[in-house]
Structure 1
């Protein structure tokens, strides 16, 4: 296995060292690496932050002091690796060390117990880990606690919007969360903010696809499953033992249109157009606007979790949403008369990579405090 060595920015004899291993080299992974040297410089004199590994599903660079600026190019020329080789490397790498998961893979997330056993803290942009079945999720949490390791996953819902951190702080300070709701999809936010009945809804979907706002198959967005998974992330943050199936899901996509190829869907798009036109006309006649919203309500020992299309009045916080924005509305004992509202871009490589670095900064602070 080849690697490009970099000279450490400074000798770190009197500072703690934190080794960072990055899994995933897509757009967000590349942006995370681009920002890495800035983070090293910010922490200089307090923490020796070193890039100790970068890998994807095929290739890996594993060396204790990599150059984040040249890693992507060198990685492309590197040989393939075996999982056992990665695990052995992580086991031998001195602590403290953190694995940053920027993959979309559930298979990879299921390896978290192995990484924790190797002594790694975890930072996840990958929703699959946080939304594993409750038994697996709790086993990971238990293993982390036993080893005094941290798991940060603030970019799994809302990208750079610190909704999970806010929920953590409210709970830790004694507040009781009663309801969390909002719009968690930048794609569906764009579609419903733009849709004005001037042309069929499917044509707005094509516009969003051309702008790169949708998944390669936009039906993945219209299914609502990504929003459902993000709501489960927040439920786990509130320590609720929900499974994905416990969250009621009403897709934007009429039943049956999720089958087959995109070209087949396009031939039957009129079903979607007629459905959305009916919703739009009903909302407009009631002086409301459409939003695809998620909500998690805690009441008298019960939990109601659902994801569906809603029509809201102009004074509702969701009505003020801009295209591509996400919004989180938190109602609690402290924020019952006037909910706490967080909003901003809910996707994008820059904000997601920035959110990952925010998690890394929190971990760095904890390590420096313990040194």
Structure 2
């Protein structure tokens, strides 16, 4: 069914329309758009999903009733350079309801959220930069959303398609109280520490992960632990805690002195990382433990403790039972005190992340069409 046909169907059945603007055309954005036409069909009896814009950091294609099936060709042919003000002006003139789906890694785009909300847009974000802004900015965004009666769904910022945030929300809404959340939140570091067996230098495993596309372009961005720190902040804010990144203790996997400078400088000094990791691996193995780069947030007697660090865990611990690239979340609460709730599965990848974004879109559709 064509975009025009969806519009005619909406008119004939008087069903609502939702204008969808997608920001980000990388791997996840491409996968999301590839699935979009199927979602249009799936929701055709409830709401007409209209693809009304596609943007990336350089170009924008802003027009109503874009065809999802030919988006790549159309974007390449008709996309034009734009400024942030152009996008905001277009959104202000676009009839609502409307949603911007942020699949960028950009903090500058996240800082446009106030203007997007002012233009009447709901927001769905895989971009962690918005949900980890300084607390004052984050709380102001939440207040602005409430004033405009708009939604901000961000369930793919942690765990990709794993519904960890949704589970936390449901537990809290049901009256449960969460005392501790811990786990392994990085698919990259999960792969590295599950694969590393001391048979060759740790840096060679890092290089292999880079070649497989599991790491950031500079793998030190993964080894720094900052991405895990941001994800823990997201979960802390789901619990209503007013924390900032500086409130989460960070112990990077990478020695501090190797974290700066050019990649080649690091590579020439990689033996320092290799020696450190081999010693830690051998010590853990001797104690019948495995290494995991883990995050932990605990609330005890009104005290908040949040940290991210490399840990040696027992072989029968929940964090030990992990496949390469998996994430795991362990939730301890009043209801799950003696037997924690464990959520485990792929925590990265374009397919599962795009699926998680479509789950958020489906949640928004249910609210609007309800």
Q: CA deviation at 1:57?
A: 1.5
2:30 matched residue in structure 1: 30
Is contact 2:3-2:50 (8 Å) kept? no
Runs of 4+ in 1 over 6 A off after TM superposition: none
In 1, distance between residues paired with 2:327 and 2:113? 28
Q: Where do 1:164-313 residues align within 5 Å?
A: 164-313=165-314
Q: Where do 1:26-105 residues align within 5 Å?
A: 26-77=26-77, 78-105=79-106
- Root-mean-square deviation (CA, aligned residues, Å) is 1.0
In 1, distance between residues paired with 2:260 and 2:29? 32
For the residue of structure 2 that corresponds to 1:60, the secondary structure is strand
In 1, distance between residues paired with 2:319 and 2:9? 51
Q: CA deviation at 1:6?
A: 3.5
For the residue of structure 1 that corresponds to 2:256, the secondary structure is coil
Structure 1: where are the runs of 5+ without partners? none
In 2, distance between residues paired with 1:26 and 1:164? 24
Q: CA deviation at 1:317?
A: 0.5
Q: CA deviation at 1:82?
A: 2.5
1:158 matched residue in structure 2: 159
Q: CA deviation at 1:8?
A: 3.2
Is contact 1:8-1:65 (8 Å) kept? no
In 1, distance between residues paired with 2:83 and 2:244? 33
In 2, distance between residues paired with 1:236 and 1:273? 36
Is contact 2:314-2:320 (8 Å) kept? yes
Q: CA deviation at 1:81?
A: 1.8
Q: CA deviation at 1:233?
A: 0.7
For the residue of structure 2 that corresponds to 1:12, the secondary structure is helix
Question: How high is the TM-score relative to the length of structure 1?
Answer: 0.97
Deviates more, 1:69-78 or 1:247-256: 69-78
Q: CA deviation at 1:364?
A: 0.1
In 2, distance between residues paired with 1:48 and 1:162? 26
Structure having the higher helix fraction is: 2
2:5 matched residue in structure 1: 8
For the residue of structure 1 that corresponds to 2:9, the secondary structure is coil
Deviates more, 1:31-40 or 1:52-61: 52-61
1:319 matched residue in structure 2: 320
In 2, distance between residues paired with 1:98 and 1:319? 40
Q: CA deviation at 1:64?
A: 1.8
1:119 matched residue in structure 2: 120
Question: How high is the TM-score relative to the length of structure 2?
Answer: 0.97
Is contact 2:126-2:155 (8 Å) kept? yes
For the residue of structure 2 that corresponds to 1:242, the secondary structure is coil
Listed one character per residue, the Cα deviations across residues 254-287 of structure 1 (whole Å, up to 9, x for unaligned) are: 1210121111111111110111111111111110
2:133 matched residue in structure 1: 132
2:337 matched residue in structure 1: 336
For the residue of structure 2 that corresponds to 1:8, the secondary structure is helix
